């Protein structure tokens, strides 16, 4: 990237609050955005593609039939299998009122065209009488992200919510319908140091190989970005046991964090799996706007989507970051529901028939899709 200035870089680094990662806080006009994945457009007349419905299943915890997706369906993961897009979405039942007070389960939908969905009647991941009920009951299994290995193993990172603490957990599957829970992602790291850490939103590094986004490595290890307030990183040898990356002070290394005056002034939360491109590693993330210190172009507390470019060889080194969101709430269903301030919460990215399908939660209430026709940037040199 060519920059029009050199003087003041140190001041910019401090102002942006990055730790161990250089920040390039240029104005939008000064930024060379040829690395950005997009543009994404909303297909006309098709959204939302998944909405609540009064489907029932037997809850093994409540020992009764529950309408597991009656209240809200949102925050979806996405991948592909057997020529179809599979969307794994968070669904909330009707057990209570208020954000975070219902029980969440993960539902399954598949589509040949990325738009018309065929849904399963029962959830595929949910609290049960198992070894993990202390982690995910009664709050549930929330906000999945899914990535696939080259040999067809699907890895889900999701939030286990017991109404006391939200923590990042791992599950795996070969068919996307039958999942094995493995427990907390950081359970074995540093003698349990981070077992009780509030943590969520894991985005595993992927790359385009053939017609599939598959999990990639850096220096022989799997890599994930994670975090809700700030973005952190973790590595793994087996995709189940993850070790957070620490800085020189033995604290969690921050890759990015909120910026005053921007759409991501309250939080920066990881989106779908990160993607290696010919420019480096692109991480799409969700930014929440502050009404007092944020970007006046967007409502207070609105969730918009940003993109971040990191060095492909040094994945903790920030090369660039969009100053404006590439995707923001527009449609009425993105500004109504549980979260009326406006939310496009991106979590699912699938490569299908030479296009990218970005699935997102709408105001914590619906699932919608946006499509990118230009995928040249995904091809690695």
| Bridge partners (DSSP) listed for residue 79 | 86
| pLDDT tens, position by position, 135-161 | 999 999 999 999 999 999 999 999 999
CATH code assigned to 56-378: 2.115.10.20
User: What are the boundaries of each domain within the chain?
Assistant: 56-378
Predicted model pTM: 0.91
Do you know the residue count of the chain? 381
3-class SS of residue 190: helix
Under 8 Å between Cβ of 158 and 270: no
**Tens of pLDDT along the chain (381 residues)?**
433 333 333 333 333 333 343 333 333 344 578 999 999 999 999 999 999 999 999 999 999 999 999 999 999 999 999 999 999 999 999 877 777 679 999 999 999 999 999 999 999 999 999 999 999 999 999 999 999 999 999 999 999 999 999 999 999 999 999 999 999 999 999 999 999 999 999 999 999 999 999 999 999 999 999 999 999 999 999 999 999 999 999 999 999 999 999 999 999 999 999 999 999 999 999 999 999 999 999 999 999 999 999 999 999 999 999 999 999 999 999 998 777 789 999 999 999 999 999 999 998 899 999 999 999 888 776
Under 8 Å between Cβ of 74 and 366: yes
Q: How far apart are CA 26 and CA 5, in angstroms?
A: 9
Q: How far apart are CA 372 and CA 131, in angstroms?
A: 41
Torsions phi, psi of 131, nearest 5? -75, -5
3-class SS of residue 226: strand
């Amino acid at each position: 990237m060519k920059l029009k200035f050199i003087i003041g870089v140190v001041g910019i680094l401090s102002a942006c609050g990055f730790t161990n990662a250089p920040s390039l806080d240029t104005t939008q006009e000064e930024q060379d955005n040829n690395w950005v994945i997009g543009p994404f457009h909303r297909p006309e007349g098709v959204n939302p593609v998944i909405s609540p419905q009064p489907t029932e299943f037997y809850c093994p915890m409540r020992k009764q039939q529950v309408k597991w997706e009656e209240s809200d369906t949102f925050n979806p993961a996405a991948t592909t299998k057997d020529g179809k897009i599979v969307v794994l979405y968070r669904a909330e039942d009707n057990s209570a009122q208020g954000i975070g007070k219902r029980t969440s389960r993960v539902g399954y939908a598949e589509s040949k065209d990325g738009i018309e969905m065929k849904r399963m009647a029962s959830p595929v991941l949910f609290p049960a009488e198992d070894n993990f009920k202390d982690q995910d009951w009664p709050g549930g299994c929330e906000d999945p992200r899914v990535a696939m290995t080259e040999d067809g193993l699907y890895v889900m990172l999701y939030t286990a919510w017991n109404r006391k603490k939200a923590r990042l957990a791992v599950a795996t599957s070969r068919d996307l319908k039958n999942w094995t829970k493995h427990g907390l992602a950081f359970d074995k790291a540093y003698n349990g140091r981070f077992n009780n850490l509030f943590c969520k939103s894991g985005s595993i590094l992927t790359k385009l190989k053939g017609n599939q986004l598959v999990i990639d490595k850096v220096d022989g290890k799997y890599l994930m970005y994670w975090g809700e307030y700030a973005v952190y990183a973790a590595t793994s040898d087996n995709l189940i046991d993850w070790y957070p990356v620490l800085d020189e002070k033995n604290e969690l290394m921050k890759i990015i964090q909120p910026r005053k005056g921007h759409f991501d002034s309250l939080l920066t939360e990881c989106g779908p799996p990160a993607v290696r491109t010919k420019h480096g590693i692109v991480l799409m993330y969700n930014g929440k706007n502050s009404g007092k210190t944020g970007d006046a172009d967007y409502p207070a507390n609105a969730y918009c989507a940003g993109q971040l470019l990191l060095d492909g060889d040094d994945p903790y080194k920030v090369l660039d970051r969009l100053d404006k969101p590439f995707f923001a709430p527009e449609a009425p269903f993105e500004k109504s529901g549980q979260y009326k301030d406006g939310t496009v919460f991106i979590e699912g990215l699938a490569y299908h028939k030479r296009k990218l399908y970005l699935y997102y939660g709408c105001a914590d209430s619906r699932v919608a899709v946006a499509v990118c026709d230009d995928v040249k940037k995904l091809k690695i040199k």
